[in-house]
Amino acid sequence: MKSYLLATAATFGVIVALWLLRRIMVNYFSRQARESDHDGYDFMLAMAERTLFPLLLMLSLYAGMSFLTIPTGVTSWVASGAIAAVILQAAIWANALVTFGLNRYQKQYRHSDPARMTTVRAVSLTARLLLVIIAAILILDNLPGVEITALVASLGIGGIAIALAVQSILSDLFASLSIILDKPFVLGDFIIVDSYMGTVEYIGLKTTRIRSLSGEQLVFANSDLLQSRIRNYKRMAERRVVFSVGVTYQTAHAHLKSIPGWIEDIIADLDLTRFDRAHFQGFGDYALKFETVYYVLDPDYNRYMDIQQAINLAIYQKFEEEKIDFAYPTQTINLSGRSRIKRYNDAVEETADSATHGATQHA
């Protein structure tokens, strides 16, 4: 009877002591986390809060059993339960460590390096999967009478069957790993895929989501995305711009020689531009064509449109000052045939009027 009382007291005393220790640690690290900016206190608080009651219970039962003489089978099951609780708790603590590291990287590199964030998320997900698999295998290996060799072999065969059944999903999964490692684009990049365009806002295991210019969300399967031609405008260092201007055939030769120089001066006076060339390109159906090439030293599209607008206004003003007309589609209709008919009709009418006038005088 005495041994049972000692076992009960030991079990109750250990679980109370462990629970009080947990409460003290939670309160202490919570207070330190509020008063300090150090991330370590947040991590220790998460570790203390995620200490499970089953672990405390199994440790207290194992301590109480040391005062009793019980069958070996019961002892082995309790010991296995205690080991399983420790393994499960270790996996939970390791998951808390992964979460803490991911949050810290997010806070540090979310805006400065989106590519690194994508890689860290993929690594954290892989680490969590490995933790679950390792913890499950260790727990099963410590259960009495459980042989995991056959289980591992059967899991391998089952894995092959599952892989064949979810081939498309695995294709997207490997495509996502390729995106993460090769980095053709990262979060925040503006890309064009075929006729679709938008900003990358999520890269998942199966799909990548893009926010289009009109506001809707575009969802692409990762495998389809990598098989497409992707244009990444976020990584563009400068923008090459080509535009044409057409003037009428009545423009003077001196003006035609001066137009390229005027355009060069207009572009050179603007900030964030680099002039390349301007030439009298050729003779069009209704216009004399000038082609201009320059570079905008900023990838921002709005900045490019502001610069192009300034160039267009300056060219229009210069042509207005020099009285040069812009060309537009025109047609010239030759009416020489109709003119002969009109002269013939006029002659007939004149003869008829003369005859009428003569008849009137005779009367």
Q: Do domains 182-232 and 239-321 have the same CATH topology?
A: no
Q: Is the pLDDT of residue 88 over 70?
A: yes
Question: 1-5, 115-119, 298-302: which range is least confident on average?
Answer: 115-119
Q: What average pLDDT does the segment 231-260 reach?
A: 92
Domain residue ranges in the chain: 2-170, 182-232, 239-321
- Residue type, position 240, single letter: R
The more confident residue out of 249 and 83 is 249
Q: Which of 320, 241, 311 is nearest to 269 (CA)?
A: 311
Residue 192 pairs in a beta bridge with 197, 231
**What is the rounded average pLDDT for all residues in the chain?**
79
Instruction: Give yes or no for residue 164 having a pLDDT over 70.
Output: no
pLDDT per residue as tens digits for the range 21-63: 878 888 887 888 777 777 677 777 777 777 777 677 777 776 7
Percent of the chain predicted with pLDDT > 90: 27
pLDDT-based confidence at residue 198 (cuts at 50, 70, 90): very high
Per-residue confidence (pLDDT) for residue 363, from 0 to 100: 44
From residue 47, alpha-carbon distances to 25, 104, 191 in Å are 10, 16, 41
Query: Tens digit of pLDDT for each residue in 273-317?
Result: 999 999 999 999 899 999 999 999 988 888 999 999 999 999 999
Position 243 scores a pLDDT of: 96
| 233 has pLDDT over 80 | yes
Confidence of residue 335 (pLDDT cuts 50, 70, 90): low
What pLDDT score was predicted for residue 205?
76
CA 205 to chain centre: 14
Where helices occur in the chain by DSSP H, the ranges are 2-35, 39-49, 53-65, 72-109, 114-142, 148-165, 167-182, 222-226, 253-268, 301-321, 336-362
What percentage of the chain exceeds 70 in pLDDT?
Answer: 70
pLDDT tens-digit series, residues 265-274: 999 999 999 9
Pick the CATH number of 182-232 from 1.10.760.10, 3.60.9.10, 3.40.50.720, 2.30.30.60: 2.30.30.60
Please tell me the predicted confidence (pLDDT) of residue 153: 63
Fold of 239-321: Alpha-Beta Plaits (3.30.70)
Phi-psi region of 101 (alpha: psi -120 to 50; beta: other; left: phi over 0): alpha
